[in-house]
Amino acid sequence: MNKMNKKQLMRFITEVSFAMDDIALYLDLHPSCQKALASYDNYKNMRNQAVKDYISIYGPINKYQVNDTNYFSWINDPWPWEREGNC
């Protein structure tokens, strides 16, 4: 995970986020499917770790993750509408 650069790590977060979203749609219809639940949980763990790594290295992805009490680091580039901010 920590071998990825900033762009690669954001891309990875986007990928596992999409995986979670799409599997969640399946789980909406099959809420007790153990295989789907296991896969969802797996991607959830991967995403949590990746987001944690990203925030600790590159700063917050959204404004709820700002921990810096001296500076509102959320305003650092890239902005959400910039290409770099969207994989």
Output 44 or 55, the one with its CB closest to other proteins. Answer: 44
**Residue 19: how many CA atoms within 13 Å on its side-chain side?**
18
First to last CA, the chain: 16
Nearest-angstrom CA–CA distance, 15 and 54: 14
User: Which 3 state secondary structure label does DSSP give 18?
Assistant: helix
Q: How far is the CB of 28 from other proteins (least distance, A)?
A: 12
Q: Which residues in 55-74 contact other proteins (CB under 8 A)?
A: none
22 binds other proteins (CB under 8 A): yes
Residues that bind other proteins (CB under 8 A): 12, 14-16, 18-19, 22-23, 26, 29-30, 33, 35-36, 39, 43, 46
